[in-house]
Homo-oligomer: A and B are copies of this chain.
Amino acid sequence: MATTKQDLGAKEKELIAIVGAGPVGALLALKLAKKGYKIDLFESRPDSRKTDIYQGKSINLALSDRGWRALQAVGIEQEIRQQAIPMYCRVMHDIDGNLTKQAYGTENQAIWSVSRSGINEQLITQAEKCPLIDINFSYRLTQLNFDDNTAVYLDENQQVVTRQSDIIFGADGAFSKVRRLMQELPKQRISYSLDYMPQSYIELTIAANEDGSHKLEKNALHIWPRKDFMLIALPNLDGSFTCTLFMNQEGDLSFNSLNSYQKVATFFQRYFADAMLLLENPVEDFLVKSASPLCLVHIYPWLVNEQVALIGDAAHAMVPFYGQGMNSGFEDCRVLSELVDENKGNWQAILQAYQHSRKVNCDAITELAQRNFVEMSDLAGDANFLLRKKIEAHFHQKHPKLWVPLYSMVTFSPDIPYSKALAIGDIQKNIMDEIMKMPGIEKNWQGDEVYNRMYQLASSKLELNL
């Protein structure tokens, strides 16, 4: 819908500050500028296109349908797809080096490996082209006055800069400064939790072959599930894979306990013999790198005075095990953008509706992501679990509307809210528990009896409950 000139005039009076120019902050800026709002975008770090702030560190993310849908309206979907690699399946590497494939969805459904810095830079470059967006790098937020919506920053010369705006978004990530300043408000009764997981992670690399090709199947996400720990690998365009090793920070086999060359080398040799042949200096990397923590953030409310709001990781940091961190943040932007239209620029109504809609759904995906560690690291290598998935996929083909597997609802069905996916998934789990108890299921899983029973259970429990 084209905005008339008169509308634009009214909106240009409204200035929106976005603290944090990561993928979510940059996308939010683009979406709101498209509606005619004037945007001040602040980023505490320097411009990554000019300074190597990542110090060669490559972080990969899996972009899926919720993310793509949010990107559509700002016109850089195609550009980003060109830099992304579709992954159609999981490839599980067992301890003896045997491989098992598991499709993520139907034939053409994929999750897409993208570089975090790459997608961020594409969004920033797009934002720079927009005259309504003013990008300020190396601006570090130090104070917020919530009464008059004034923010105080230190710029790159350590000068104090004060900026006022009508609305302020905190898109400044899991350790959000906006959030910390909100929490200190005595009268707001803001409930908050930050939970560290027992697992931490380090990144490792599998380099490309000399001809630039990939050393493992390119269009797949590789997993070495070892129950209490796991290694994963996502493909890069240059032929390399970015790998992540997740394991306990403390305990018997942990980042703390593996503290000598000998112990680490033995560990890799024992548990990741096939990957060991491909990884670049895993033992040295393991010993040199300090493991990064994984944490969950819950906060409520997300708003102060209906003028300051949290978005993305600042509101709902989660663990990476469902590949939905960035996707959920992008979906925040998409939903907010729709609410701006629905509520015709009434920001009190927009932000209340935004919080109401997103809080419950982001709680759901945070919960699903936490549960998924077990699925990825343990069950992914379990025959019984794989049979379950096969039965579900088969039934989905027969009754594509009655039964959409949980992973597909979350990953490929942006019309199903996360909270609904979680609720349906729990009912499906109960049904599958029943099905897996059927005598001889390992042999008879393709028989009609199984699917008739499943149809009976699903049509009574799923259709009635939803």
Chain A: residues with CB nearer than 8 A to chain B?
Answer: 183, 189-196, 249, 293, 295, 298
Q: Is the CB of A193 within 8 A of B193?
A: yes
A-B contacts, 15 of them at CB < 8 A, read A183-B194, A189-B196, A189-B249, A189-B293, A190-B194, A190-B196, A191-B193, A191-B194, A191-B196, A191-B295, A192-B193, A192-B194, A193-B193, A193-B194, A193-B195
Interface centre among A189, A194, A249, A295 (most CB of B within 10 A): A189
Bound complex: CA of A440 vs CA of B298, how far in Å?
47
Bound complex: CA of A196 vs CA of B190, how far in Å?
7
Q: Count identical subunits in the complex.
A: 2
Bound complex: CA of A183 vs CA of B193, how far in Å?
12
- Which B residue's beta carbon lies closest to that of A249? B189
> A189-B196, A193-B298 are known contacts; what are 9 more A-B pairs with Cβ within 8 Å?
A189-B293, A189-B295, A190-B194, A191-B193, A191-B194, A191-B196, A191-B295, A192-B194, A193-B194
Bound complex: CA of A34 vs CA of B191, how far in Å?
40
Nearest CB of chain B from residue A175's CB, rounded to whole Å: 9
Residues of B within 8 Å of A298, CB to CB, are 193
- Which B residue's beta carbon lies closest to that of A183? B194
Interface centre among A194, A249, A293, A298 (most CB of B within 10 A): A194
Main secondary structure of the interface of A (DSSP, over half): strand
Residues of B within 8 Å of A293, CB to CB, are 189
Residues of B within 8 Å of A195, CB to CB, are 191, 193
Residues of B within 8 Å of A189, CB to CB, are 196, 249, 293, 295
Nearest CB of chain B from residue A176's CB, rounded to whole Å: 14
Residues of B within 8 Å of A196, CB to CB, are 189-191
Residues of B within 8 Å of A194, CB to CB, are 183, 190-193
Bound complex: CA of A295 vs CA of B295, how far in Å?
22
Bound complex: CA of A298 vs CA of B295, how far in Å?
16
Bound complex: CA of A249 vs CA of B192, how far in Å?
18
- Which B residue's beta carbon lies closest to that of A250? B189
- Which B residue's beta carbon lies closest to that of A294? B189
Nearest CB of chain B from residue A383's CB, rounded to whole Å: 35
Bound complex: CA of A380 vs CA of B191, how far in Å?
29
Nearest CB of chain B from residue A184's CB, rounded to whole Å: 9
Bound complex: CA of A349 vs CA of B195, how far in Å?
26
Bound complex: CA of A190 vs CA of B190, how far in Å?
19
Residues of B within 8 Å of A190, CB to CB, are 194, 196
Bound complex: CA of A249 vs CA of B194, how far in Å?
25
Bound complex: CA of A293 vs CA of B193, how far in Å?
17
Bound complex: CA of A194 vs CA of B179, how far in Å?
14
Bound complex: CA of A191 vs CA of B189, how far in Å?
19
Bound complex: CA of A195 vs CA of B183, how far in Å?
12
Bound complex: CA of A192 vs CA of B191, how far in Å?
11
Bound complex: CA of A227 vs CA of B5, how far in Å?
56
